[in-house]
Every structure is written in C-alpha cells, then in structure tokens.
Amino acid sequence: MDSGVAPDITGSLCAPWEHPLLGRLQSRVVMTAMTRSFAGPGHVATEAMAAYYARRAAHGVGLVLTESTAIAPVADGFPDAPRMHTRAQIESWRLVTDAVHEAGAQIFAQLLHAGRISHEDYTDGVQPVSATTRNADGINRRNGKPYAVPHALRADEMPAVYDEFCRASTAALGAGFDGVELHLAHGYLPDQFLDARVNDRSDAYGGSVENRCRFALDLTAAVLAECGANRVMVRISPSRWMNGTYDWPDLPAMLAYLIPSLDVLGLRMLDVSCARSDYFETSGRVIRMLRPLWPHLLLGGASLTAAEALAELDAGLLDLVTYGRLLLANPDLVERMRDGRPLVPFDNAMLDVLA
C-alpha cells in the first residue's frame, strides 16, 4: 500500500509542531480513539495497553487519544472495556500515561457515556439511560442481544451525569493524562440528545436545535469549569457512515448554533470524527462547513493519505490529523510516511490482538 507521499515532503505533518495549548508535539499525527476491549479484570488498564499506546508514540505520533473509557458502570457499553471510576481503575492508567510520556507523546483520555448503545450485561446490571425510552435498532453484536430499553433521563438527573464526567476528568488528570476528550459522537449519550432522529423529547432538552444542543453544551461547560480549556477536547460526528451517509437532521442549523456556542463556552479543541467513513464524504464535508465558525484547534482525518493530509493542513482546514486503523497496521506510520515507505494494509484480524 502506497504511503501517498514521496520521501522527505511530508513537511509539517510528520515534523514537530508547537501549539499554545498543547505545547510541543513530535508530529501532527494523532492516534485516534479506537475501542479495543483488552482491559484487565475489574476494567483496569494493563501493561499490554501501555505498551500498545507507547509503541505508536515511540514511532512519532504526537498525540494519543485513548480508547473509549467509561466514566461509571452505567456509562459502559462494551465487554472488557476500561473505566475511569474506581480507585484501582484510575491508578491503573498511570502505567499508560507514564509509558506514552516516556516515548515522547502527549495523551488524552477519551471519556464515554454510551447511553442506550449498551446492555445490562455491560453496565453491571444497571438500566442504561438516554434522551429517550426507545432502544437502539438492531442487535448488539457484542452479546447477540437487542440493545437495552433505556430510562429517559429527567432534567433533575442530568447534573449527576455532568458531575460524573467532571469527576472522571479530574481523576484522569490526576493519573497523568494531559487532557480529556469528551465523546459527544457516534450515537452515544450526548449524541442521543443532539440527533433529532433519536431525541423525541418535548422538554427543554428536545425539539428545537437549541434544546437538542443543551445537554452537550451544559456538559462541556461543566468540564471546562473543572479542568480548563487547555485540558478539554470535544469529539463530535455530525456526519458518518451507517449503512449509508448519516447526517444530523438540520445539519447546517445544528452547526451554525453548536459550534459558536462551544466557542463562547471557552472550548478550544475540537475533533470531528467520521467513524471509519470516507473523510471527504463525511467529516471533511462538515469541516468545510464549520471551519469558518471555528478558529481554534481542529482535528480530523482517519482515512487520509499523507498527501491528502498535507493538503488539508496547508489549506488551514485541519491542525492535527487523526489516524486509526492505519496505525493499528503500522505502529511506525509516521516514520513510513516521512520516508515514503509502503504501508501495511489493515486487516480485520488485527483487531483480535493488542500489538
């Protein structure tokens, strides 16, 4: 597989880069968050996880975003996924942060509340919560069962969810993370409020664009107040692939309200994800819509060649470029792109091991 660029012309993509909030990064390549489900007993981080992340850092990745990490048992949605809840879970992450820092990269913890994209099998028997009482369509491929019927959060229950995110964020910083990424994307709890196909509420958290954005904005405001703008990133996925291109309803209106509102709150780092989709058909299209509204740090990519990534950087559309499955197949991706060497193609069997 061609790396998509000739030797020595990767320029700013693979070279060190300075940013006012992040400081010096050893490249502008970001290891994006990918669910792996290799946590140890009790949902703790392991030495194998530390080696997995550090290996990419040692080969030049500038910033690592961890796999989705549940903020509480009810927030989980996966078997054998790590959490940031108990003392043992929090302390176990020090293995990972120390290893990644020693290898030269920075690392953010991606914090998750899966909402209705879950089952009692993964929430320690607790009923999942959502914006709605409707369960997600289809069968959960992890346990072969229908998704759980969720409890619709009441307005008076929402501050407790924000508090859990704040507690997990503070815990992550205490475990050595350089920051946290709030997962507001991919159909998980905050996205269940943002998405009009899911959000069927008639209260202050449903209906209009402003109301559907309220939960995500209140959550972001709470964590920003707790941790500061230099420690908080938000991930959104207004367009992704779900048996076809799947956009938020009222996409232009949603972006026109949500993006400036995040700016006003003081957020300064935004990750636009496309969940294994073609970048130009999904998040790349969204980035071209929101970039005029967002003058701050912006991440995206996932499926770009080095040449395409350079073009997005040079055009000012992206500041950092995310890679996922290519980094699973090529832990030395940055070096291969820098040298113009061929890339190892991704194979689904690579998901069965943590290497």
Contact 50, 37 (CB under 8 A): no
CA distance 350 to 343: 15
* 241 DSSP 8-state letter: E
CA distance 240 to 41: 33
Backbone angles phi, psi at 186, to 5 degrees: 55, 30
Proportion of the chain in helix, strand, coil states, percent, rounded to 5: 40, 15, 45
* Pairing of the two strands 239-241 and 297-302: unpaired
Residue of 318, 297, 237, 239 lying closest to 272 (CA atoms): 237
CA distance 116 to 197: 14
Active-site position among 53, 147, 162, 188 = 188
Which amino acid is residue 123, in one-letter code?
Answer: T
Structure tokens at 249: 């309803």
Residue by residue, DSSP assigns 243-280 as SSEEE-TTHHHHHHHHHHHHHHHT--EEEE--TTS-GG
Structure tokens at 122: 């993964």
CA distance 216 to 194: 8
CA distance 115 to 128: 6
Tell me the three state secondary structure of residue 140: strand
Which amino acid is residue 38, in one-letter code?
Answer: F
Has 188 been annotated as catalytic?
A: yes
Place of tokens 């995206």: 300
Residue of 77, 327, 264, 268 lying closest to 186 (CA atoms): 77
Structure tokens at 133: 């009482």
CA distance 235 to 67: 13
- Catalytic machinery residues: 188
